Structure 1
Amino acid sequence: MKRWSTTRAEEKAISVTSKVVVSLVKTIKDPSYAAVYADNCFTSIGLAKCLRSEYGCRYVGTARENRVGQPPIKSVKEMRKKTTQRGTLGYVSSDGILVARWRENRIITILSTDVGVEPMGTVERYDRAQKEKVPIP
Protein backbone atom coordinates (compact mmCIF):
# COMPACT_ATOMS: atom_id res chain seq x y z
CA MET A 1 0.00 0.00 0.00
CA LYS A 2 1.36 3.40 -0.99
CA ARG A 3 1.42 6.02 1.77
CA TRP A 4 0.14 9.53 1.15
CA SER A 5 2.92 12.08 1.42
CA THR A 6 3.25 15.81 0.96
CA THR A 7 5.98 17.67 -0.80
CA ARG A 8 5.07 21.33 -0.42
CA ALA A 9 6.29 23.26 2.61
CA GLU A 10 2.90 24.62 3.69
CA GLU A 11 1.32 21.18 3.44
CA LYS A 12 3.88 19.78 5.87
CA ALA A 13 2.91 22.38 8.47
CA ILE A 14 -0.80 21.46 8.62
CA SER A 15 -2.57 18.88 10.78
CA VAL A 16 -3.47 15.35 9.74
CA THR A 17 -7.17 16.21 9.39
CA SER A 18 -6.31 19.20 7.20
CA LYS A 19 -4.18 16.95 4.99
CA VAL A 20 -7.36 15.00 4.21
CA VAL A 21 -8.88 18.17 2.73
CA VAL A 22 -5.70 18.91 0.75
CA SER A 23 -5.68 15.40 -0.70
CA LEU A 24 -9.30 15.86 -1.83
CA VAL A 25 -8.51 19.27 -3.35
CA LYS A 26 -5.71 17.65 -5.35
CA THR A 27 -8.36 15.55 -7.13
CA ILE A 28 -10.13 18.68 -8.44
CA LYS A 29 -9.25 19.40 -12.06
CA ASP A 30 -8.87 23.17 -11.51
CA PRO A 31 -9.02 24.07 -7.79
CA SER A 32 -8.77 27.81 -8.51
CA TYR A 33 -12.45 27.68 -9.56
CA ALA A 34 -13.51 25.73 -6.47
CA ALA A 35 -14.57 26.62 -2.95
CA VAL A 36 -14.31 24.13 -0.09
CA TYR A 37 -16.75 24.17 2.83
CA ALA A 38 -15.95 22.13 5.95
CA ASP A 39 -16.80 21.71 9.60
CA ASN A 40 -14.64 22.44 12.63
CA CYS A 41 -12.86 19.07 12.53
CA PHE A 42 -10.87 20.17 9.47
CA THR A 43 -10.68 23.96 9.68
CA SER A 44 -7.45 25.76 10.63
CA ILE A 45 -5.56 28.89 9.61
CA GLY A 46 -2.80 26.70 8.13
CA LEU A 47 -5.28 24.88 5.89
CA ALA A 48 -6.85 28.10 4.64
CA LYS A 49 -3.42 29.56 3.83
CA CYS A 50 -2.27 26.35 2.13
CA LEU A 51 -5.36 26.05 -0.07
CA ARG A 52 -5.22 29.71 -1.07
CA SER A 53 -1.48 29.97 -1.78
CA GLU A 54 -0.72 26.52 -3.19
CA TYR A 55 -3.95 25.77 -5.07
CA GLY A 56 -5.78 29.09 -5.42
CA CYS A 57 -8.78 27.42 -3.77
CA ARG A 58 -11.23 29.35 -1.58
CA TYR A 59 -12.21 28.00 1.84
CA VAL A 60 -15.02 28.49 4.38
CA GLY A 61 -15.42 26.51 7.57
CA THR A 62 -16.60 26.60 11.13
CA ALA A 63 -13.61 26.54 13.45
CA ARG A 64 -12.60 25.55 16.94
CA GLU A 65 -11.26 28.36 19.09
CA ASN A 66 -7.81 26.77 19.44
CA ARG A 67 -7.34 26.55 15.64
CA VAL A 68 -7.73 30.23 14.79
CA GLY A 69 -5.01 31.58 17.05
CA GLN A 70 -5.90 34.60 19.14
CA PRO A 71 -7.56 37.13 16.82
CA PRO A 72 -8.33 40.55 18.36
CA ILE A 73 -12.03 39.75 18.86
CA LYS A 74 -13.98 38.59 21.91
CA SER A 75 -12.98 35.12 23.05
CA VAL A 76 -15.52 32.33 23.34
CA LYS A 77 -15.30 32.63 27.13
CA GLU A 78 -16.18 36.35 26.97
CA MET A 79 -19.04 35.76 24.53
CA ARG A 80 -20.60 33.11 26.80
CA LYS A 81 -21.18 35.71 29.51
CA LYS A 82 -24.79 36.70 30.03
CA THR A 83 -23.89 40.35 29.38
CA THR A 84 -23.08 39.50 25.74
CA GLN A 85 -26.31 39.72 23.80
CA ARG A 86 -27.49 37.20 21.27
CA GLY A 87 -26.55 38.34 17.77
CA THR A 88 -23.22 39.88 18.82
CA LEU A 89 -20.67 39.65 16.01
CA GLY A 90 -16.93 40.19 16.13
CA TYR A 91 -14.65 39.78 13.15
CA VAL A 92 -11.18 40.51 11.90
CA SER A 93 -9.56 40.13 8.50
CA SER A 94 -5.86 39.83 7.80
CA ASP A 95 -3.93 38.61 4.76
CA GLY A 96 -7.19 37.73 2.99
CA ILE A 97 -8.40 35.48 5.82
CA LEU A 98 -11.53 36.40 7.76
CA VAL A 99 -12.22 35.14 11.27
CA ALA A 100 -15.74 35.90 12.52
CA ARG A 101 -17.32 34.96 15.83
CA TRP A 102 -21.07 35.22 16.36
CA ARG A 103 -23.22 34.54 19.41
CA GLU A 104 -26.46 32.75 18.69
CA ASN A 105 -27.71 29.83 20.79
CA ARG A 106 -24.05 28.81 20.77
CA ILE A 107 -20.84 30.62 19.90
CA ILE A 108 -19.99 30.12 16.24
CA THR A 109 -16.51 30.82 14.84
CA ILE A 110 -16.06 30.92 11.07
CA LEU A 111 -12.83 31.11 9.08
CA SER A 112 -13.02 32.14 5.41
CA THR A 113 -10.91 33.09 2.41
CA ASP A 114 -14.05 33.24 0.23
CA VAL A 115 -16.77 35.37 1.82
CA GLY A 116 -17.01 38.42 4.03
CA VAL A 117 -19.49 39.58 6.66
CA GLU A 118 -21.45 41.91 4.37
CA PRO A 119 -24.35 42.12 3.74
CA MET A 120 -25.62 41.68 7.26
CA GLY A 121 -29.23 40.86 7.95
CA THR A 122 -31.48 39.57 10.70
CA VAL A 123 -32.95 36.17 11.54
CA GLU A 124 -36.04 35.32 13.56
CA ARG A 125 -35.30 33.32 16.72
CA TYR A 126 -37.51 32.30 19.62
CA ASP A 127 -36.82 34.13 22.89
CA ARG A 128 -37.84 32.21 26.04
CA ALA A 129 -38.08 35.35 28.17
CA GLN A 130 -40.43 37.13 25.76
CA LYS A 131 -42.10 33.86 24.62
CA GLU A 132 -42.11 34.96 21.00
CA LYS A 133 -39.83 35.16 17.98
CA VAL A 134 -37.53 38.17 17.97
CA PRO A 135 -35.19 39.50 15.26
CA ILE A 136 -31.50 38.76 15.89
CA PRO A 137 -28.83 40.63 13.90
Structure 2
Amino acid sequence: MSDALGQPGQRIDRWLWCARFLKSRSLAATLVQSGRIRVNGDRISKASRIVRAGDILTFPLGPHIRVVKILFLAERRGPASEAQSLYNDLDPPASAAQRDAVTPSATPLREAGSGRPTKRERRQTDALRGEES
Protein backbone atom coordinates (compact mmCIF):
# COMPACT_ATOMS: atom_id res chain seq x y z
CA MET A 1 0.00 0.00 0.00
CA SER A 2 1.33 3.47 -0.88
CA ASP A 3 0.14 6.84 0.31
CA ALA A 4 -0.08 10.16 -1.54
CA LEU A 5 3.68 10.69 -1.07
CA GLY A 6 4.46 7.41 -2.81
CA GLN A 7 6.05 5.86 0.27
CA PRO A 8 4.94 2.32 1.06
CA GLY A 9 3.01 1.85 4.29
CA GLN A 10 1.02 -0.71 6.24
CA ARG A 11 -1.82 -0.59 8.76
CA ILE A 12 -0.48 -0.56 12.30
CA ASP A 13 -2.73 -3.38 13.50
CA ARG A 14 -1.53 -5.61 10.68
CA TRP A 15 2.13 -4.75 11.31
CA LEU A 16 1.86 -5.48 15.05
CA TRP A 17 0.26 -8.84 14.24
CA CYS A 18 2.84 -9.73 11.58
CA ALA A 19 5.69 -8.73 13.92
CA ARG A 20 4.20 -11.17 16.46
CA PHE A 21 3.66 -8.69 19.26
CA LEU A 22 0.04 -9.85 19.55
CA LYS A 23 -1.64 -13.17 18.79
CA SER A 24 -4.43 -11.81 16.61
CA ARG A 25 -5.12 -8.79 14.49
CA SER A 26 -8.24 -8.00 16.51
CA LEU A 27 -6.12 -7.84 19.70
CA ALA A 28 -3.77 -5.47 17.88
CA ALA A 29 -6.71 -3.30 16.80
CA THR A 30 -8.03 -3.27 20.37
CA LEU A 31 -4.64 -2.13 21.69
CA VAL A 32 -4.50 0.69 19.13
CA GLN A 33 -8.11 1.77 19.81
CA SER A 34 -7.38 1.95 23.54
CA GLY A 35 -5.17 4.96 22.77
CA ARG A 36 -2.16 3.54 24.59
CA ILE A 37 0.09 3.33 21.55
CA ARG A 38 2.28 6.09 20.14
CA VAL A 39 3.79 6.47 16.69
CA ASN A 40 6.73 8.88 16.64
CA GLY A 41 5.51 10.32 19.95
CA ASP A 42 1.94 10.99 18.75
CA ARG A 43 -0.85 9.08 20.46
CA ILE A 44 -3.08 7.26 17.98
CA SER A 45 -6.44 5.54 18.34
CA LYS A 46 -7.26 4.26 14.85
CA ALA A 47 -6.15 0.82 13.73
CA SER A 48 -6.13 2.05 10.15
CA ARG A 49 -3.16 4.35 10.86
CA ILE A 50 -0.43 3.75 8.28
CA VAL A 51 3.10 3.09 9.55
CA ARG A 52 6.29 3.16 7.51
CA ALA A 53 9.87 2.01 7.87
CA GLY A 54 11.66 4.35 10.28
CA ASP A 55 8.64 5.00 12.53
CA ILE A 56 9.13 4.50 16.27
CA LEU A 57 6.35 2.73 18.18
CA THR A 58 5.86 2.95 21.94
CA PHE A 59 3.24 0.70 23.53
CA PRO A 60 2.56 -1.33 26.68
CA LEU A 61 2.85 -5.10 26.38
CA GLY A 62 2.31 -7.04 29.59
CA PRO A 63 4.42 -5.57 32.40
CA HIS A 64 6.76 -3.83 29.93
CA ILE A 65 6.69 -0.69 27.82
CA ARG A 66 8.01 -1.62 24.39
CA VAL A 67 9.87 0.87 22.21
CA VAL A 68 10.63 -0.41 18.73
CA LYS A 69 11.78 1.11 15.46
CA ILE A 70 10.19 -0.30 12.32
CA LEU A 71 12.88 -1.47 9.90
CA PHE A 72 10.74 -3.26 7.32
CA LEU A 73 7.09 -3.69 6.48
CA ALA A 74 5.69 -7.20 6.69
CA GLU A 75 4.65 -9.10 3.61
CA ARG A 76 3.15 -11.92 5.67
CA ARG A 77 3.02 -13.27 9.20
CA GLY A 78 5.97 -15.61 9.18
CA PRO A 79 8.03 -17.42 11.78
CA ALA A 80 9.34 -15.61 14.86
CA SER A 81 12.85 -15.28 13.43
CA GLU A 82 11.45 -13.48 10.40
CA ALA A 83 9.21 -11.30 12.56
CA GLN A 84 12.15 -10.16 14.72
CA SER A 85 13.93 -8.87 11.63
CA LEU A 86 11.07 -6.40 11.01
CA TYR A 87 12.02 -4.15 13.93
CA ASN A 88 14.86 -2.95 16.12
CA ASP A 89 14.14 -3.15 19.85
CA LEU A 90 15.13 0.18 21.43
CA ASP A 91 14.51 -0.95 25.01
CA PRO A 92 17.60 -1.01 27.18
CA PRO A 93 18.72 -4.54 28.06
CA ALA A 94 17.28 -5.64 31.39
CA SER A 95 19.63 -6.48 34.21
CA ALA A 96 19.40 -9.87 35.89
CA ALA A 97 17.74 -8.32 38.95
CA GLN A 98 15.05 -6.67 36.81
CA ARG A 99 14.35 -9.91 34.95
CA ASP A 100 14.04 -11.82 38.22
CA ALA A 101 11.70 -9.19 39.64
CA VAL A 102 9.39 -9.51 36.64
CA THR A 103 9.64 -13.29 36.16
CA PRO A 104 10.11 -15.12 39.44
CA SER A 105 11.62 -18.58 39.44
CA ALA A 106 9.31 -21.46 38.53
CA THR A 107 9.79 -23.26 41.86
CA PRO A 108 9.20 -20.86 44.72
CA LEU A 109 11.14 -21.53 47.90
CA ARG A 110 9.30 -21.66 51.19
CA GLU A 111 10.55 -21.14 54.67
CA ALA A 112 11.20 -24.21 56.81
CA GLY A 113 8.24 -24.86 59.07
CA SER A 114 5.73 -23.05 56.90
CA GLY A 115 2.90 -24.84 55.18
CA ARG A 116 1.46 -28.19 56.11
CA PRO A 117 3.30 -30.33 58.63
CA THR A 118 4.94 -33.54 57.53
CA LYS A 119 3.62 -36.87 58.72
CA ARG A 120 6.45 -37.07 61.26
CA GLU A 121 5.73 -33.58 62.59
CA ARG A 122 2.02 -34.44 62.88
CA ARG A 123 2.80 -37.53 64.94
CA GLN A 124 5.04 -35.50 67.25
CA THR A 125 2.29 -32.89 67.72
CA ASP A 126 -0.28 -35.60 68.49
CA ALA A 127 2.13 -37.18 71.00
CA LEU A 128 2.57 -33.83 72.79
CA ARG A 129 -1.18 -33.40 73.05
CA GLY A 130 -1.63 -36.97 74.26
CA GLU A 131 -3.78 -37.91 71.27
CA GLU A 132 -2.12 -41.13 70.28
CA SER A 133 -4.00 -43.23 67.79
TM bucket, shorter chain: under 0.3
TM-score (ref. length: structure 2): 0.26
Q: Which has the larger radius of gyration?
A: 2
Structure (1 or 2) with the greater strand fraction: 1
